[in-house]
């Protein structure tokens, strides 16, 4: 998983990875809306 990847969380949230730090991933889920999530809760990396 790297910056720019589109992912789906275990809770069904779709977003784009904007940063990866140790066990945390920052996702942009809407324009200028970012959330931090624990890496293990990323369910899938979308293949575009």
* Sequence-distant (≥ 6) Cβ neighbours of residue 23 within 8 angstroms: 38, 39, 40
| Confidence at residue 44, expressed as pLDDT on a 0 to 100 scale | 97
The residue extents of the domains of the chain are 6-45
Instruction: Give the predicted TM-score (pTM) of the model.
Output: 0.90
C-alpha to C-alpha distance for 14 and 10, rounded to whole angstroms: 10
Q: pLDDT (tens digit, 9 = 90+) per residue, 1-48? A: 999 999 999 999 999 999 999 999 999 999 999 999 999 999 999 986
């Amino acid at each position: 998983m790297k910056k720019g990847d589109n992912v789906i969380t275990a809770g069904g949230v779709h977003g784009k990875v904007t940063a990866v730090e140790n066990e945390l991933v920052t996702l942009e889920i809407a324009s200028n809306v970012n959330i931090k999530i624990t890496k293990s809760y990323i369910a899938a990396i979308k293949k575009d």
